[in-house]
Chain A
């Protein structure tokens, strides 16, 4: 004998028997969407999903008010929550997100912190000039700016000939290993720290940017004092145009966060910092991409290209590209 709803004694059971098909349908649709993507569903099914979601949600409110079947209520809660996150959550695919990032998100995020970028660049340049002047006046200053591990024999004690050789000959290392070590060394770390430490009211960020500038200035001064300034420029800028820009942007992002924390305006302090972090985070993803490209240029470009003119050409091209990309494209908002 099959049961008809009229035979059922408990109204909560009758309710379940009548509504269960809707819930099963929603569960099935969600299952398929989660295992593949939204494209796994036909257009009709896509339209059916919100309907099944609302039916289930209404079942949940009825069940809470009238049923004491705990497992059914738990089931409806979990199903409604899953459907809610799908329906009101983000449904864009990975490739859509990546395209939007390169087309609009990244340049817009960098453009939004142009003021901080200028400040960040000014700090770096000012520190570089200070270090340059000091080392030019007394080469011993070099040792105060430069940790021994970075100079790698490129210090005032080295002969001009030795210095010149370091610019065109990287020793026996292969490009790949230079690239790999790059990812774990100094610059990537400075960039990430400059961003992350913005939290402490900008101060560590400013310090790191200045420190980076000092090293730069000391380096340039050392080579310039031996008449190798032009050659060093090519060696440094072939990847430096990208890398220094990346560090400056990371610093700018850190400054933005620190500034928001210090001057939260109408928001709470933490809320303002969180808001600022969300705004700059796309720029920082971009910094990672830039550092990656800089690593490739340092690892391979600098190994293969030893002509100064060509190095400058690449530096100018990459630098020009970044400026054009950040400040001239993606002005239209994401659709």
Chain B
């Protein structure tokens, strides 16, 4: 019997999990960025571009006033806009982090779909189509909107960008048209800190507790992970409730000299020890309903 990985993620999250087997033969199980993160990163990037444009405008306006040329301001503004629009995404994604500042803030990055090298061409290709997806219809709307408001043209423009904007929602890999072409996708690359092992305290606490075999047999891996989350949050109310529930389940009478956090730490450690021992024998008890 093979050891199955922990069902640590809810099905909704599992939908975005992909296997990436390294040449060393380990599956990294990468997770794709969801639509919200993609949209959020894009909005952040646009906000940064707009902020830069505004400061360019202010600076060039100040110098423009001193030289007395309004045209100069306009020209500088147009050039800045052109450069940002063409190079912002590409330059940042070509860096070591393969992410724009917006993506970096949300802990996501661009990667090649085949797991290989992310080439400069791919990055250019995925951002060149952004031109057709976003900037051209918007620019078109802006130029049309001013002189003659042709309702049909505006509608067509909105439909056009709408189709592209929602495109990632209609394929399972959350690909933008640019990703499809370039052979890239956007994955989560969060920086996680190595947190303290709950069992550090638990082992100490365990010396003050005695659990019988049947008391420890009450739960599986899923409950262990939930308990780990509770213990990490250290929220007194939740811990009190959870402790009460566990005591009820394992039939252990509540007692006054038994602190809830001590009890939970100890029970966590005892449960983990038991389940990990089973793991070594190739048995993974999924949850409390799993009698295997």
Per the CB 8 Å criterion, the residue count for chain B at the interface is: 74
- B119 contacts chain A at the CB level, 8 A cutoff: yes
Q: How far is the CA of A192 from the CA of B29 in the complex (A)?
A: 38
B163-199 CB contacts (< 8 Å) to partner A: 180-183, 187, 189-195, 197-199
Q: Are A85 and B5 in contact (CB under 8 A)?
A: no
A43-67 CB contacts (< 8 Å) to partner B: 54, 57-58, 60-61, 64-67
Query: Known contacts A71-B232, A74-B192, A88-B23: does B124 contact A285 (CB below 8 Å)?
Result: yes
Q: Are A184 and B23 in contact (CB under 8 A)?
A: no
Provide the residues of chain A in CB contact with B187, threshold 8 Å. 81
Q: Are B78 and A184 in contact (CB under 8 A)?
A: yes
How many chain A residues sit at the interface, stated as a range, is: 35 or more
Q: Are B22 and A69 in contact (CB under 8 A)?
A: no
Q: How far is the CA of A77 from the CA of B192 in the complex (A)?
A: 9
A17-64 CB contacts (< 8 Å) to partner B: 20, 23-24, 27, 33-34, 37-38, 54, 57-58, 60-61, 64
Q: Are A10 and B272 in contact (CB under 8 A)?
A: yes
How far, in Å, is A57 (CB) from chain B's closest CB?
5
Query: Which of chain A's residues has its CB closest to B113's CB?
Result: A274
Query: Known contacts A80-B26, A174-B71: does B276 contact A12 (CB below 8 Å)?
Result: yes
How far, in Å, is B274 (CB) from chain A's closest CB?
10
- A267 contacts chain B at the CB level, 8 A cutoff: no
Query: Known contacts A10-B269, A85-B109, A288-B86: does B194 contact A20 (CB below 8 Å)?
Result: yes
- A78 contacts chain B at the CB level, 8 A cutoff: yes
- B117 contacts chain A at the CB level, 8 A cutoff: yes
Which of A117-125, A175-183, A309-317 is the interface stretch? Answer: A175-183
- B57 contacts chain A at the CB level, 8 A cutoff: no
Query: Known contacts A60-B26, A80-B26, A196-B132: does B192 contact A75 (CB below 8 Å)?
Result: yes
Q: Are A281 and B28 in contact (CB under 8 A)?
A: no
Provide the residues of chain A in CB contact with B20, threshold 8 Å. 81, 84
Provide the residues of chain A in CB contact with B71, threshold 8 Å. 174, 177
Q: How far is the CA of A64 from the CA of B27 in the complex (A)?
A: 11
Q: Are A68 and B122 in contact (CB under 8 A)?
A: no
How far, in Å, is B285 (CB) from chain A's closest CB?
10
Q: Are B199 and A69 in contact (CB under 8 A)?
A: yes
Query: Known contacts A13-B203, A70-B225: does B195 contact A75 (CB below 8 Å)?
Result: yes
Q: Are B119 and A90 in contact (CB under 8 A)?
A: yes
Q: Which 9 A-B pairs have the closest CB atoms?
A: A281-B125, A180-B78, A78-B192, A180-B75, A71-B195, A277-B181, A196-B132, A75-B192, A281-B121
What are 5 A-B pairs with beta-carbon distances under 8 A?
A: A57-B22, A66-B280, A85-B111, A278-B119, A278-B122
